[in-house]
Amino acid sequence: MIKEFSTTLEEVDISRNKKDYTKNKINIFVYSIRKNAIAIVFCLFSIFLVIFSTTNLTAAKNGLILWATAVVPSLFPFFVATELLSNTNIISTFGKYFNIIMRPLFGVPGEASFAFLMGLISGYPVGAKIVSNLKENGICTKEEAERMLSFTNNSGPLFIIGTVGVSLFGNVKVGILLFITHILSCISVGILLNIVSLYKNKKKTLNKTNKYFINKNMSSKNTESHKNIKNMQNLNSVSFSSLGEILGKSITNATSTVLLIGGFVVIFSVIISILNQSGIINFVSTIVSPILYIFNIPIEFANSIVSGFIELTNGVSLIASTSQISLINIKIILCAFLLGFGGISVLLQVFSIISKSNLSIKTYFIGKLFQGIFAAFYTYIALELFTIL
């Protein structure tokens, strides 16, 4: 009897050990997949490059043509202008006059107005580059820079009014409407993130002692910020003797940034081609379709929205080229959302620019998602209220 009981216990222990061993084996396998996930994705990408080599070649050529004919002419002069202006005292001038607006509204220094204005005029990713420079020069804190990224890095009027409005929709009014709602949405995101930041710091400001130290720290930060601006002005002061050197440096930096964007445009053109050929976009579209049904968006837009999430230009082009004229309002609203969000391609461009500044991309991603929602909502309201549109 005792022997039988002991053998039963041994069998139980063996079965438990087997289960534990199996669990450990599965956990190790899952961990190894997680650890090597990026390497696996890169390997698959290389394999798909060979499998779909014909279509990938065409996609790469189209990406290069798009970059050479649209991106370089529209962005390169603005990049040079931004670099040149950064070597003047214009940033401190903006900080002096716009601090009264930027600080209470967005909770950032007045110098952020330069990033906001140039980001709106120039387009992606000029705003991110200026914010990165401001952070590196100590003009703003890490938390302020991360919030600034979300509402200063925007799509420009040349792309929204010219490319989307005139070229894709054949109507300048559509372009102007999308640009206005784009501005309103980025301002809304800036205000929203400021409210969230103030709420997070509310506990600190409730205590009088903490309040004293915060004010003291803020004043020390402000004086330090002014010192950094003055040092930057002294280092970057433009004179006729240094004009040639500054111009050459500005062109070199602008060329580097434009080449970086060109690489992203070509790579993401190839990625979208691979995702289309492999059927991944169609698969994701079927998953997204129920969500679109909730918002009364026709399922035929699923592929276009998924493509737009990956790369902005391809997405808005596919949405605008949908044949049904009766769906014009939905097309405009969807384009507004994609223009606000910017796409994964722009997100990775921003990530590559801010990597040296040790800034997190998390706030930017959340902010851009909200900007897309705000832009779509404002566009919907405008189309409902103003029937002339």
The DSSP symbol for 348 reads: H
Per-residue confidence (pLDDT) for residue 333, from 0 to 100: 92
Question: Which residue ranges of the chain lie beneath pLDDT 50?
Answer: 5, 9, 208-225, 230-235
- 274-311 pLDDT tens trace: 888 888 888 888 888 888 888 788 888 888 888 888 88
If we measure between CA atoms, which residue out of 97, 132, 104, 101 comes closest to residue 197? 104
pLDDT at 208: 46
Least Cα distance to 79 among 333, 307, 250 occurs for: 250
**Residue-level pLDDT at 167:** 81
Residues in the chain: 389
Residue 37 CA, distance from chain mean position = 23
Name, in order, each residue with C-beta under 8 angstroms of 79's C-beta and a sequence gap of 6 or more.
Answer: 122, 126, 129, 253, 254, 257, 258
Query: DSSP label at 69?
Result: I
In degrees and rounded to multiples of 5, residue 282 shows phi and psi of -65, -40
The rounded distance, in Å, linking the Cα atoms of 108 and 141 is 9
Global confidence as pTM: 0.78
341 touches 369 (CB < 8 A): yes
The 3 state secondary structure assigned to 141-203 is CHHHHHHHHHHHCCCCHHHHHHHHHHHHCCCHHHHHHHHHHHHHHHHHHHHHHHHHHHHHCHH
